Chains A and B, each alone.
Chain A
Amino acid sequence: AQSVTQLDSQVPVFEEAPVELRCNYSSSVSVYLFWYVQYPNQGLQLLLKYLSGSTLVKGINGFEAEFNKSQTSFHLRKPSVHISDTAEYFCAVSYYGGSQGNLIFGKGTKLSVKP
């Protein structure tokens, strides 16, 4: 079965420090990849997505992610985090040939930014 693994359930970090949230997926076929953010008591908001082309994808709020096909990874990075980045982050994948448009999500990583 296809799956998405987010290796860290919680990541604490100090304000202005860099952060990387890790995501790996299982796949033997081509994929689309996504990162979503969920602030407390809200729904999910799209941060960025990889569909094709350049493997480095830039998103909103200064986040970026790099698609690595050989390592089946799509790690999310930000060079300097703010208190307002405290939220839960979900990696998701959609597979070519799967149920059209359906996403498979990881379990999420809670990013906690401390002053």
Chain B
Amino acid sequence: EADIYQTPRYLVIGTGKKITLECSQTMGHDKMYWYQQDPGMELHLIHYSYGVNSTEKGDLSSESTVSRIRTEHFPLTLESARPSHTSQYLCASSDTREVETQYFGPGTRLLVL
């Protein structure tokens, strides 16, 4: 059973606000990921991390930023939210000893008005 948590689950916020989406995992996994998911579309990788102090941009350009100060924590920040940021954001983690298998959190649904 994967233990990966995301908060908040739902967020409605006004344009221009700064927001941070939280993601934590208790499995000690070294790799963590953020995906953006829109209805009828592929999941798009926006950020990933190989471990503490490592962050990389994914395939989809994003105005968000991430940090990895602790192994278990991988928050995503939007400095100034816009309606185009409305989406579902999924966090995932994986153990490099378990080839390629990613475990997902429940997601955060973001609505920017």
Q: Do A and B come from one complex?
A: yes
The answer to whether A51 touches B99 (Cβ under 8 A) is yes
**Cβ-defined partner of A103 (8 Å) among B6, B40, B100:** B100
Chain B residues contacting A42 (CB-CB under 8 Å) are 106-107
- Find out whether the CB atom of B101 lies under 8 angstroms from the CB atom of A44: no
Interface string of B23-53 (1 = CB under 8 A from A): 0000000010100000011110100101000
Neighbouring A residues of B94 by C-beta, 8 Å: 101
Asked if A101 contacts B43 (CB within 8 A), the reply is: no
Interface size class of B (residues with CB under 8 A): 20 to 34
Number of interface residues of A (CB under 8 A): 25
B90 CB–A CB distance under 8 Å: yes
Per-position contact with B for A36-47: 1 when CB-CB < 8 Å, else 0?
100001111110
User: In the complex the two chains form, what is the Cα distance from A34 to B99 in whole Å?
Assistant: 12
Q: A100–B101 contact, CB under 8 A?
A: no
The answer to whether the Cβ of A26 comes within 8 Å of any Cβ in the partner chain is no
Judge if B86 is at the interface, Cβ distance under 8 Å.
Answer: no
Partner of B101, one of A9, A49, A99, A106: A49
Report A57 CB to chain B, min CB distance, Å. 13
The answer, yes or no, to whether A102 is at the interface (CB within 8 Å) is: yes
Q: Which residues of A contact B (CB under 8 A)?
A: 4, 9, 32, 34, 36, 41-46, 49, 51, 90, 94, 99-108
